[in-house]
Amino acid sequence: MWTANATHQLYLWITTIPKEKTLFSSFYPIIMKNYVDVIGHPNSLPPFASGFWHCKNRYRTQKELLDVAKGYYDRQIPVSVIVIDYFHWTAFGDWKFNSTCWPNVPQMMNELKSYGMKLMVSIWPHVEEKSENFITMNTTGLLTHDANGSVLPTTGLINNFYYYIPDQFNSTTQQYIWNRIKENYFAYDIKIYWLDADEPQNTRPGLQWWYGRHDDEIAMVLAREHQRMFWDGLREEKEQEIIMVSRQAWIGSHLFNVVVWSGDIDSSWEESFKQIKVAQNVALSGIYWWTTDIGGYRPVGLDDNEFQELILR
């Protein structure tokens, strides 16, 4: 039986189709059209979105990234977007480059542009106590907390420390974080964001949110508010070519040009077959833009023949 123990009210969406269409398979597009008429039709993605995106786990320094970018350019392999993954920061919640590893961001961006490449950076929503933003966010109520008003860390550890989840339902939180993104990424013409771990990863029961709802009630809608923050910020800056990659989506996420990424998957044929079903289910959910890790995220070894064939196919 379907239950919704944390729901105060339910909405039922009912649509109809012409009787003559029920005998044919063509009724599904009618249902989907009615659905998107309610939740909104998708925007077009920027032209560069259909090009080759290159990412690895992970580039650790500016030199390493630029050496690979130059290698593609010298071999005349066009790359639309190259990606800097997680831990390019000093602490979770700094939302900026570690200057030791990435000493000259303007120079890096100029070189990438000369190769015809755009840059996407991974941005996690979490904040750790070592972050330069933690004290401000904690003392001004921008982090999630328990019923007594005390901040609660996540249930899991990364690099042997706990971290905290910003309250994205609070518009003040969104503005504060976007200001950090704007000054540390957007100001350098970095306008493509990979919203990783935005379910959010390692959340916990008992969290209270700005509008008073607890964790069970908000389910996965937090990701959409996280995405809205980036969309609103980019639109405020008059940006037209917007695309984000996210590990989570909710009803309406496509309105923010969010591409759902089915990531961190095994590098196996079995997992590749599963991704076909994932893509079909995403489409049936009314989510327009979807992608996955080509060849998987956890390879058995670069010299493995099956892995090489998986990448090629």
Is residue 309 in a domain?
Answer: no
| pLDDT tens, position by position, 94-124 | 999 999 999 999 999 999 999 999 999 999 9
Q: Annotated catalytic sites, by residue?
A: 196, 199, 264
Q: Quick count: other Cβ atoms within 10 Å of Cβ 312? A: 8
Q: How far apart are the first and last CA of the chain?
A: 41
pLDDT, position 157: 64
Is residue 304 in a domain?
Answer: no
Provide the H-helix boundaries in 75-139: 105-114, 134-139
Sheet holding 192-195, edge to edge: 53-54, 81-84, 118-123, 192-195, 244-246, 258-262, 290-292
Domain range enclosing 239: 48-262
Judged by DSSP in three states, 214 sits in: strand
Is residue 242 in a domain?
Answer: yes
For the whole model, what pTM was predicted?
A: 0.92
Beta pairing partners, 195 = 123, 246
Does residue 127 contact residue 92 with C-beta atoms inside 8 Å?
A: yes
pLDDT, position 21: 66
Whether omega for the bond prior to residue 200 falls within 30 degrees of 0, making it cis, is yes
pLDDT digit string (tens) for the chain, length 313 residues: 456 667 777 778 888 887 776 666 677 788 888 888 988 888 899 999 999 999 999 999 999 999 999 999 999 999 999 999 999 999 999 999 999 999 999 999 999 999 999 999 999 999 999 999 999 999 999 999 888 888 888 876 666 678 999 999 999 999 999 999 999 999 999 999 999 999 888 888 778 888 777 777 777 788 999 999 999 999 999 999 999 999 999 988 999 999 999 888 998 999 999 999 999 998 888 888 999 988 888 777 778 888 889 888 8
Nearest Cα residue to 42 out of 293, 278, 289? 289
| pLDDT tens, position by position, 289-299 | 999 988 888 77
Is residue 107 in a domain?
Answer: yes
The two structure tokens encoding residue 256: 């923010």
Is residue 3 in a domain?
Answer: no
Nearest Cα residue to 142 out of 41, 94, 210? 210
pLDDT, position 24: 62
Total domains in the fold of the chain: 1
pLDDT, position 159: 64
Is residue 32 in a domain?
Answer: no
Is residue 194 in a domain?
Answer: yes
Q: What is the CATH number of the domain that holds 235?
A: 3.20.20.80
Is residue 20 in a domain?
Answer: no
Whether omega for the bond prior to residue 58 falls within 30 degrees of 0, making it cis, is yes
Nearest Cα residue to 260 out of 161, 310, 194? 194
Q: How many CA atoms lie within 13 A of 269 on its CB side?
A: 7
| 242 Cβ neighbours under 8 A, 6+ residues apart | 43, 46, 191, 231, 234, 235, 256, 257
